[in-house]
């Protein structure tokens, strides 16, 4: 089997309500979702979710290769971009191609990826994450009541701008989940997306902890500030979760050396191989891992095979336009199916027929909403032609 080409397209996640975080809000709830499809000479196509930045350069590292050698091909892609650097969106391109190769490998074996990777249990614990900073209190309650109907008993809200607003909204979500869980204490997390200084983080979280029990505070300060993250961790009761925006295994080393992270996160867009390696590194430090992303299906498969998975993020309950996923949500858990590969089906006709707001360049798991234009462009405008060897 040989890799013969790739195709790119961009679909959209239609939330039907405002979504965002402290950095900005998509008022119309339409969030671009870039895709990469990798083709082979045996008619098997793999799907990866992630950006297309510099894909010509990255794809050259795997063109004509056997996709089943995915681990070695992942390293080839890293080496191909080493001089210029593989950080940022380029790392997402590598991750999207890597995910597509894992999809092909599992399809060729006739097994779901979770089984191919050595998973025993198809269930993956989930927590609710509504990207909800733009919602009113009543809208917030309504959203988490729906999550609760699917058995979710842990939730992460967006915040960081106002202590009392965060306290009120965390309390509202806590009460929704407590009632649904018949009095059982829910897990509560707050994500501030790197918005604070060290002093602000300690003050804000300590004030919240006067009345609330937080499971973790996510990205309280900048992702690279190992000393700052460690300072925050020493000053609060909650765990510090970070890592989703780190683009390379080497970027975790200073955080781990400083004792700066309690829960290691990786983004779905960075791919399966990165998650597996980051999980092994975290496990060596007795730390849990938690994948994030709106459609983290590939990392859900991978999570079944690592011993230190804690919980995975569940954002929208519906998949992006034109995608169908062989999984369901039941009892607060992602239940993976038996379809070979990732279990992702792409309706290219539906995606290419849809017209959506154009977006600026993707720079990882969070696209800055203020950079997303509102010009209407066809999704197909962002597609690249299929390439063939030679």
Could you report the per-residue pLDDT of 113-161, keeping only the tens digit for each? 999 999 999 999 999 999 999 999 999 999 999 999 999 999 999 999 9
What is the model's pLDDT at position 38? 98
Q: Could you identify the residue written with the tokens 């792409």?
A: 346
Model confidence pLDDT, tens digit, residues 185-229: 999 999 999 999 999 999 999 999 999 999 999 999 999 999 999
SS3 6: strand
User: 65 with 50: CB under 8 angstroms?
Assistant: no
Q: How far, in Å, CA of 35 to CA of 21, rounded?
A: 23
Helices (H), the chain: 55-59, 70-80, 89-109, 113-116, 137-149, 163-180, 198-208, 226-235, 253-257, 272-284, 297-303, 348-353
Long-range contacts from 12-17, C-beta under 8 angstroms, 24+ separation = 12/320, 12/321, 12/354, 12/356, 12/379, 13/294, 13/295, 13/316, 13/320, 13/321, 14/318, 14/320, 14/321, 15/131, 15/316, 17/134, 17/135, 17/139, 17/143
Model confidence pLDDT, tens digit, residues 294-342: 889 999 999 999 999 999 999 999 999 999 999 999 999 999 999 999 9
DSSP letters along 201-239, please?
A: HHHHHHHHTTT---SEEE--S-TT-HHHHHHHHHH-SSE
Model confidence pLDDT, tens digit, residues 45-103: 999 999 999 999 999 999 999 999 999 999 999 999 987 677 788 999 999 999 999 99
Q: How far, in Å, CA of 127 to CA of 124, rounded?
A: 10
User: 37 with 100: CB under 8 angstroms?
Assistant: yes
- Token couple for 245: 């925006």
Kindly tell me if the per-residue pLDDT of 287 is higher than 80: yes
Measured CA angle at 379 (ends 366, 84), to 5 deg: 50
pTM: 0.90
DSSP letters along 358-378, please?
A: ------SS---GGG----EEE
Q: Could you identify the residue written with the tokens 């195709």?
A: 7
User: 262 with 290: CB under 8 angstroms?
Assistant: no
What is the model's pLDDT at position 88? 81
User: 80 with 60: CB under 8 angstroms?
Assistant: yes
Q: Which DSSP helix (H) or strand (E) runs through 45?
A: strand 45-49
Cβ-count burial of 374 within 10 angstroms (0-12 exposed, 13-18 middle, 19+ buried)?
exposed
What is the model's pLDDT at position 378? 27
Residue ranges and CATH numbers for the domains of the chain are 3-111 (3.30.390.10), 115-347 (3.20.20.120)
């Amino acid at each position: 089997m040989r890799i013969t080409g790739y195709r790119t397209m961009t679909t959209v996640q239609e939330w039907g309500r405002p979504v965002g975080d402290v950095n900005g809000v998509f008022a119309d709830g339409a969030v671009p979702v870039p895709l990469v499809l990798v083709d082979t000479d045996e008619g098997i196509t793999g799907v990866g979710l992630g950006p297309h930045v510099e894909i010509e350069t990255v794809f050259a590292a795997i063109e004509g290769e056997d996709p089943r050698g995915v681990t070695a091909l992942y390293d080839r892609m890293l080496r191909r971009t080493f001089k210029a650097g593989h950080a940022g969106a380029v790392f997402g391109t590598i991750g999207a191609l890597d995910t597509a190769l894992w999809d092909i490998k599992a399809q060729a074996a006739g097994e779901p990826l979770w089984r191919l990777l050595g998973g025993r249990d198809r269930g993956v614990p989930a927590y609710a994450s509504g990207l909800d900073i733009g919602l009113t209190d009543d809208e917030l309650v309504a959203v988490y009541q729906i999550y609760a109907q699917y058995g979710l008993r842990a939730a992460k809200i967006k915040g960081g701008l106002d202590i009392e607003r965060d306290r009120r909204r965390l309390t509202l979500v806590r009460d929704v989940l407590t009632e649904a869980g018949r009095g059982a204490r829910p897990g509560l997390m707050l994500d501030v997306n790197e918005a604070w200084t060290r002093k602000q983080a300690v003050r804000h979280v300590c004030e919240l902890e006067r009345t609330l029990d937080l499971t973790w505070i996510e990205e309280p300060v900048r992702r690279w500030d190992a000393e700052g993250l460690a300072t925050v961790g020493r000053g609060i009761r909650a765990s510090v979760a970070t890592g989703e925006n780190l683009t390379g295994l080497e970027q975790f080393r200073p955080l781990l050396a400083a004792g700066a992270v309690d829960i290691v996160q990786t983004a779905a867009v960075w791919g399966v191989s990165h998650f597996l390696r980051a999980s092994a590194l975290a496990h060596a430090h007795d730390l849990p891992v938690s994948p994030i992303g709106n459609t983290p299906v590939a990392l859900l498969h991978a999570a079944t095979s690592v011993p230190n998975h804690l919980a995975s993020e569940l954002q929208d309950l519906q998949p992006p336009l034109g995608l169908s996923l062989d999984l369901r949500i039941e009892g607060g858990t992602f239940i993976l199916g038996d379809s070979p590969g990732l279990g992702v089906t792409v309706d290219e006709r539906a995606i290419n027929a849809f017209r959506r707001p154009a977006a600026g360049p993707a720079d990882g798991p969070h696209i800055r909403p203020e950079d997303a234009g509102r010009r209407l462009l066809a999704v197909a405008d962002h597609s690249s032609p299929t390439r063939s060897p030679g």
